[in-house]
Structure 1
Amino acid sequence: MDILIALGFVAVVLVVADRLLLLLESHGHLNWRRSGRKKLPAEPGVGLEHLLEEPVREGR
């Protein structure tokens, strides 16, 4: 009987957590289930490469 109560409690916690995450998603705080993944640009690392390049110094 204790295992049924524990499984029921776990189910309730999961449903409440899901509803909370859906509420946060409706307010725009995160993406959970309803909104799909955002499309990544074709080359997402170009900006990072530019930031990590060492500056070219002209020799005298």
Structure 2
Amino acid sequence: MEIVVAFLFVVVVLFGLDRMMLWLERRGHVNWRRTGRRRLSAEPAAELDSLLTNPSRERARRP
């Protein structure tokens, strides 16, 4: 009997977490189940060389 109660408790907790994640997804905080993955080809990309070289140039220009 205790195992049945523990199993039901786990099911209720997982269901509640799923509903909370769906609510957060509707509000735009996370991607959970309803929205697909973002297409990485559509996202802006930064080149590693520009990330490593630009800060040193900006520091030299500052007074």
Identity fraction in percent:
49
Number of aligned residue pairs: 55
Q: For the residues of structure 1 that align with 2:6 and 2:52, how far apart are their CA atoms?
A: 52
Write the mapping of 1:1-60 to structure 2, written as runs, cut at 5 A. 1-41=1-41, 44=45, 46=47, 48-53=48-53
Gaps of 5+ in 1: 56-60
Report which stretch shifted further, 19-28 or 33-42: 33-42
**What do residues 30-55 of structure 1 show as CA deviations (whole Å, max 9, x unaligned)?**
10000000000289452x33212486
Aligned twin of 2:59:
none
Gaps of 5+ in 2: 57-63
- In structure 2, give the amino acid aligned to 1:15: F
- In structure 2, give the amino acid aligned to 1:11: V
Q: Helix, strand or coil for the counterpart of 1:8?
A: helix
The TM-score with structure 1 as length reference comes to 0.75
